[in-house]
Amino acid sequence: MRAIDIRELTLSFNGQNLFEDFNFSVPQSAWTVLLGASGIGKSTLLRTIAGLENEAKIQGEIRHQGKIAWLAQQDSLYPWLSVSDNVQLLQHLTRSKTAESVEKARYLLSAVKMDKHLHKPCYQLSGGQRQRVALARTLMQEADIVLMDEPFSALDMVTRLQLQDLAHQLLAEKTVLLITHDPQEALRLGEQIYVLRHQPAVLSAPIVPPGKAPRYPDQHLWTLQQQLIDQLTEAA
């Protein structure tokens, strides 16, 4: 089953075609990863799928099955709100918090190991802590599809690995489309990986890493990583 189906998409930004007659499908309940150089159009494509792209000229068809949530590099937390209220942001803004939503937020914050900071304002948190809260807020939405726009790229290596593992665990039943510029992250998390190349962008053949994610480097993954680097270098 396809969770996202893109047909004959032409997407122009500032007079330049980022995508032209572009076709792409994302299977349900799997992690699909898009790799590509900066400026190739990864984020614009993700915003278009989410219905958030307002500046590009768009033609074609995009279908998706289910509700969409977004997890970006910028966590977009409200700094003066508490951790709990940021997770319950919709309920907070619409004044519809209930005992049930408070308890659900507490449960999700426990899952991301942030329950001890429940009432702390978000401006007091570290970058890694903020991204844990953003992940909990994403889970609060109970979406079927999660679009991830380089959510771990600004973190230090240890925190990045921890949050990759945590996100993979908590989003195991979801359809995830992750964009990244990091081949190692793609190979750790992806069930199928594509490289966007050229302009307008075209997809490489899929790479399917062996074994279950999250993966740890071995000789086979190093070989695949070099293949991805070669394709990215060719695309530059």
What is the chain's alpha carbon radius of gyration, rounded to the nearest angstrom? 18
CB count in 10 Å sphere of residue 173: 8
**pTM, full prediction:** 0.92
Percent of the chain with pLDDT over 90: 74
What residues does each domain of the chain span? 2-67+143-235, 78-141
Q: Using CA of residue 153, residue 158, residue 159, residue 162, what is the dihedral sign? A: positive
User: What pLDDT is recorded for position 235?
Assistant: 55
User: What pLDDT is recorded for position 154?
Assistant: 84
* 122 token code pair: 């978000």
Residue appearing with tokens 């964009």: 179
pLDDT for 203 beyond 60: yes
Q: Using CA of residue 59, residue 61, residue 66, residue 70, what is the dihedral sign? A: negative
User: What pLDDT is recorded for position 46?
Assistant: 94
Homologous superfamily (CATH) for 2-67+143-235: P-loop containing nucleotide triphosphate hydrolases (3.40.50.300)
